[in-house]
Amino acid sequence: IEQTGDKGIKLQDVKDGKATLDEFVAQLDNVELEAITRGDYKMNSPLGAKGNAGAYGGVLESLREKGVKPIITTDGPSGIRILSCCSLLPIGTLLACTFDTKLVEKLYSIIAKEMKEKGSDVLLAPGMNIHRNPLCGRNFEYFSEDPYVSGKMGAACVRGVQSLGGSACPKHFACNNQELARTTNDSQVSERALREIYLKAFEICVKEAHPKNIMTSYNKINGVWSHYNYDTCVTVLRNEWCYEGNVMTDWWMHPSKSIEFPKIRDQAYRVRSGVNLLMPGGDRVTNGKPDGTLFATLDKPFGITVGEVQQSAKWVLKSVMEIE
Catalytic residue ranges: 250
Check residue 81 and report its DSSP letter: B
What is the secondary structure of 118-176 as a DSSP string? HT-SEE---B-----STT-TTTTTS--S-HHHHHHHHHHHHHHHGGGT-EE--B-BTT-
Which one, of 189, 193, 253, 190, lies nearest residue 217 by Cα? 253
User: What is the 3-state secondary structure of 24-73?
Assistant: HHHCCCHHHHHHHCECCCCCCCCCCCCCCCEEEECCCHHHHHCCCCEEEE
CA distance 320 to 274: 18
Which one, of 320, 322, 299, lies nearest residue 30 by Cα? 299
Whether the CB-CB separation of 316 and 274 falls below 8 Å is answered with no
> Coil, strand or helix: which one is 214?
strand
CA distance 40 to 31: 14
Whether the CB-CB separation of 25 and 301 falls below 8 Å is answered with no
